[in-house]
Amino acid sequence: MAQKTSVSSISSVMATYGRFPVTLVKGKGSYVWDDHGAQFLDFTSGIATCNLGHVPDVVKTKLEEQLQNLWHCSNLYNIPNQENLAALLTANSFGNQVFFCNSGAEANEAAIKLARRYSQKVKGTDSFEVVTFQQSFHGRTLATLSATGQEKIQQGFAPLVPGFSYLPFNDIEALQQLENLKPAAVLLELVQGEGGVIPAKTDWVKKLASICEKNEILLMVDEIQTGIGRTGTLFAYEQYGISPDVISIAKGLGSGFPIGAIIAKEAAAKGFEPGTHGSTFGGNPLATAAGIATIEHIVDSNLLTQVNEIAEYLENQLIVLKEKYSFIKEIRGKGLLIGIDVDTNALEIVQKAIEHQLLLLTAGPNVVRVLPPLTVSKEEINEFVEKLEKAFQSI
């Protein structure tokens, strides 16, 4: 059994997280080790962040190289790594302009600000509304929690930032309201991650995209959890046959090194001019070095083909478990962003899994979220299934 350490009673760290009693000090590939040397199979990837596994050599080498030269440089000067990463991201997506920041919430902040300013200064309208969806998650800053369609995230933070309304997710009928509202933008996740691993339906997304196009509403996709190969393509929107105006990315972009960004089409990007938005650390030489190494590796290697094969293998293993354990209601997701919907307490399963040295996440009270690194092997998946069954048998 795993050694347990809990420092919560003497911690000086603010209690914003309910933490598991595990202290991780080392990681490599799909594994992490605690402060007593116990090894855990990590199927959380730091919440969809360490997509290339822990401490990937390709990124480590690039970071070490950059450490020798320059750590920080103000955005008042040209930053070659930033230019190179922007070129890589636009060459491999719908967009042609990139803004860099440091996190997912900041990326969505940038998208929301861009939508408002584009609407008012480029289109010359007085529209500022951003429509999002129920059960969504867009971040913890004041604007992004206001954008989030979950009351529990917003409680106690009133007054919220005005200008957001929430439509039901995957509801075709409700999309008609967009024609009346004529908002500046729509912001959505293509697989709602925190909201319970709920994939958007293709018909619904296509209809949404066509309404946006017809009414000149910016289509903004929050790819913070679905991006960087997580769903089997570099970005999830590719699988829906749509071309967004803006996407926000973060989590997997730096393989664990903090970085966020928005990618926009040239027209939408006109919403920002010099002096309208910025960030001291955004796109700094180290973070963008990590981003370059990560994207180059995904694009140049055969990783995404491997992700699709291994995701199918994993799904088949989970379907076998579903037949065996009646408390499993549904297996769903896309690529290696997977939810196990259970009619029991998901947190209890995650806690039991820790005892069997397996790290998992929840997504709401009844969904166990499984996020292995994209580099996961068949053997590691077999080990996961074995450990998960042990956790199931002990609840």
Positions that interact with ligand PLP (CB under 6 A): 103-105, 108, 137-139, 189, 193-194, 222, 224-225, 250-251
- Nearest Cα to 294, choosing from 109, 99, 111, 45? 45
CB-based contacts of 124: which residues, under 8 Å, 6+ apart?
Answer: none
| Closer Cβ to ligand PLP, 19 or 214, answer by number | 19
Nearer to ligand PLP, 193 or 196 (CB): 193
Q: Minimal distance in Å, beta carbon 138 to ligand PLP?
A: 5
For residues 225 and 362, which CB has a smaller minimum distance to ligand PLP in the complex? 225
Q: Where do runs of H (alpha helix) occur along the chain?
A: 45-48, 57-67, 80-91, 104-117, 142-147, 151-154, 176-181, 202-214, 266-269, 285-300, 303-324, 346-355, 378-393
Work out how close the CB of 104 gets to ligand PLP at its nearest, in angstroms, rounded to a whole number. 2
Nearer to ligand PLP, 54 or 230 (CB): 230
CB of 225 to ligand PLP, least distance (A): 3
Residues paired with residue 262 on neighbouring β-strands, in sequence order: 99, 248
Closer residue to ligand PLP in complex, CB, 220/298: 220
Q: Would you call 303 helix, strand, or coil by DSSP?
A: helix
Report in angstroms how near the CB of residue 317 gets to ligand PLP at its nearest: 25
* Cβ nearer to ligand PLP, comparing 97 with 103: 103
As given in the structure block, the two tokens for residue 71 are: 């750590």
Please identify the residue of the shown chain whose CB is closest to the bound ligand PLP. Answer: 104
Phi-psi region for residue 119, left (φ > 0), alpha (ψ -120 to 50) or beta? alpha
CA 18 from centre of chain: 20
> In terms of DSSP bridges, do strands 31-34 and 24-28 run parallel, antiparallel, or are they unpaired?
antiparallel
Q: Count, in order, helices (H) and strands (E) of the chain.
A: 13, 17
Please report, in angstroms and rounded to a whole number, the separation of the first and last CA atoms in the chain: 16
Query: Which pairing describes strands 130-133 and 164-167: parallel, antiparallel, or unpaired?
Result: parallel
What's at 268, amino acid-wise? Answer: A
Of 183, 170, 255, which Cα lies nearest the Cα of 212?
A: 183
* Closest C-alpha among 302, 213, 215 to residue 265: 213
Shortest spacing between CB 250 and ligand PLP, in angstroms = 5
Least Å distance between CB 264 and ligand PLP? Answer: 17
Smallest distance, ligand PLP to C-beta of residue 332, A: 16
Closer to ligand PLP by CB, 371 or 391: give it.
371
Work out how close the CB of 137 gets to ligand PLP at its nearest, in angstroms, rounded to a whole number. Answer: 5
Nearer to ligand PLP, 139 or 199 (CB): 139
Q: How far apart are CA 114 and CA 117, in angstroms?
A: 5
Instruction: Give least dist CB 121 to ligand PLP, A.
Output: 26
- Please, which residue, 200 or 381, has the CB nearer to ligand PLP? 200
- Calculate the dihedral angle through the C-alpha atoms of 115, 121, 123, 124, rounding to the nearest 10 degrees: 130
